């Protein structure tokens, strides 16, 4: 697993530098000690295809480390073509038989990660799940994103989730599980009790207490985030209403200590492609070269040329 050591998320210490339309230039001003924040964004997006631009605009200017998306409604051939600027596809589960559904995890370009292959545990509608591991500060984090269709088999969902957690669990792991489970936590039920009991065996509890889906006069808490609160010094979780879906998003921020984080230097480079080259040539053709050709001193000619070029 690759860890770049670049930890974005401390709003007070990190300055984002943009060049033209790029958002991927960051300057990190960190000493060898301090606190940073690991940020996980989750939303049932209800179709990702035409929403990437809106999603980025809602994330701006604080781009989060991990984006966990459920129900993106795409086949893999479509998902691999999705471009979310500043992020790469880290893990996914796509439907092969039924339409819609699907879960995906996008990771910020500044972080390394290791994809975890758990596709054999997926069963469309019952449990669609993907996972990856990454390091951030002092944390070794395992992020899982899952979706259960309202008509999916709950017993199958619980059994498979327990099997997955057994296979991944280590005492040093910091689990973050998020997704749309379609079990309403505003009401007591056997399904809710069984799920809580399974997760408690791994010391995981729900940290979402606010409604995540509002419909007319009803509200439900079916989008959940589960963590082991004993492993995190402090955290906050908040709802985000962004009109991208009929589900509100959730943002989890976990504080962690970092030590000996190097200061990363950066440079700004010009985009070079066939369009920028054509534009450059056109601009050169509009320049007046009289100051060069009317001079007899080589140094003056060169300096004049260089000024125009720059």
Nearest CA to 89 among 81, 101, 99?
Answer: 81
Nearest CA to 25 among 113, 84, 110, 90?
Answer: 110
DSSP string, 149-163: -TTS-HHHHHHHHHH
Nearest CA to 3 among 176, 116, 169, 139?
Answer: 139
Which alpha helices (H) appear in 201-254, and where do they start and end? none
- Give the residues across from 254 on adjacent strands: 38, 235
Mean pLDDT lowest among 14-23, 32-41, 280-289: 14-23
Nearest CA to 165 among 138, 201, 115?
Answer: 201
Q: CA 225, CA 177: separation in Å to the nearest integer?
A: 6
Nearest CA to 178 among 109, 231, 103?
Answer: 103
Amino acid 263: pLDDT: 52
Amino acid 89: pLDDT: 96
Token pair, residue 234, equals 């402090």
Amino acid 262: pLDDT: 53
Task: State the helix-helix crossing angle for 154-168 and 190-200, rounded to 10 degrees.
Answer: 10
Spell out the domain ranges in the chain.
14-259, 274-309
Q: How many residues does the chain have?
A: 310
- Give the residues across from 131 on adjacent strands: 116, 144
- Give the residues across from 41 on adjacent strands: 67, 251
Amino acid 285: pLDDT: 82
Amino acid 247: pLDDT: 94
What tens digit of pLDDT does each residue of 140-192 get? 999 999 999 999 999 999 999 999 999 999 888 899 999 999 999 999 999 99
Quickly count: other Cβ atoms within 10 Å of residue 197's Cβ: 11
Amino acid 10: pLDDT: 40
pTM of whole model > 0.85? no
Helix (H) or strand (E) holding 41: strand 33-44
Largest CA distance in the chain: 92
Nearest CA to 58 among 212, 296, 220, 245?
Answer: 245
* Burial label, 212 (beta-carbon count in 10 A; 0-12, 13-18, 19+): buried
According to DSSP, residue 127 is labeled B
Nearest CA to 37 among 286, 237, 200, 272?
Answer: 237
Question: Using CA of residue 73, residue 154, residue 213, residue 175, what is the dihedral sign?
Answer: negative
Q: In degrees to the nearest 10, what's the CA dihedral of 90, 67, 122, 171? A: 80
For residue 21, pLDDT beyond 60:
no
What tens digit of pLDDT does each residue of 225-259 get? 999 998 887 899 999 999 899 999 999 999 987 65
- Return the CATH fold of 14-259: Deoxyribonuclease I; Chain A (3.60.10)
Query: Residue 53 — left, alpha, or beta (φ > 0 → left; ψ -120 to 50 → alpha)?
Result: alpha
Q: Which letter, b or e, does each residue of 28-50 get, where b requires 16 or more Cβ atoms within 10 Å of its Cβ?
A: bebeeeeebbbbbbbbbbbebee
């Amino acid at each position: 697993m690759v860890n770049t050591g670049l930890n974005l998320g401390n709003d007070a210490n990190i300055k984002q530098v943009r060049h033209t339309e790029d958002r991927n230039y960051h300057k990190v001003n960190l000493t060898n000690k301090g606190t940073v924040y690991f940020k996980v964004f989750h939303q049932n997006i209800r179709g990702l295809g035409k929403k990437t631009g809106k999603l980025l605009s809602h994330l701006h200017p604080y781009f989060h480390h991990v984006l966990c998306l459920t129900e993106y409604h795409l086949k893999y051939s479509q998902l691999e073509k999705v471009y979310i600027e500043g992020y790469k596809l880290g893990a996914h589960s796509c439907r092969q038989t039924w339409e819609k559904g699907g879960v995906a995890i996008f990771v910020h370009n500044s972080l390394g990660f290791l994809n975890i292959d758990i596709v054999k545990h997926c069963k469309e509608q019952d449990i669609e799940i993907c996972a990856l591991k990454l390091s951030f500060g002092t944390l070794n984090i395992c992020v899982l994103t899952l979706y259960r269709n309202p008509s999916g088999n709950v017993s199958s969902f619980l059994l498979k989730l327990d099997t997955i957690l057994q296979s991944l669990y280590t005492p040093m792991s910091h689990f973050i599980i998020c997704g749309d489970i379609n079990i309403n936590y505003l009401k007591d039920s056997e399904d809710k009790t069984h799920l809580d009991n399974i997760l408690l065996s791994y010391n995981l509890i729900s940290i979402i207490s606010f409604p995540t889906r509002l419909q007319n006069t009803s509200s439900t808490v079916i989008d959940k985030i589960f963590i082991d609160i004993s492993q995190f010094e402090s955290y906050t979780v908040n709802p985000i209403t962004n009109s991208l879906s009929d589900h509100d998003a959730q943002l989890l921020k976990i504080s962690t200590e970092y030590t000996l984080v190097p200061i990363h230097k950066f440079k700004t480079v010009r985009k070079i492609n066939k369009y920028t080259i054509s534009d450059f040539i056109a601009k050169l053709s509009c320049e007046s070269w009289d100051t060069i050709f009317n001079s007899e001193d080589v140094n003056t000619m060169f300096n004049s040329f260089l000024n125009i070029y720059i």
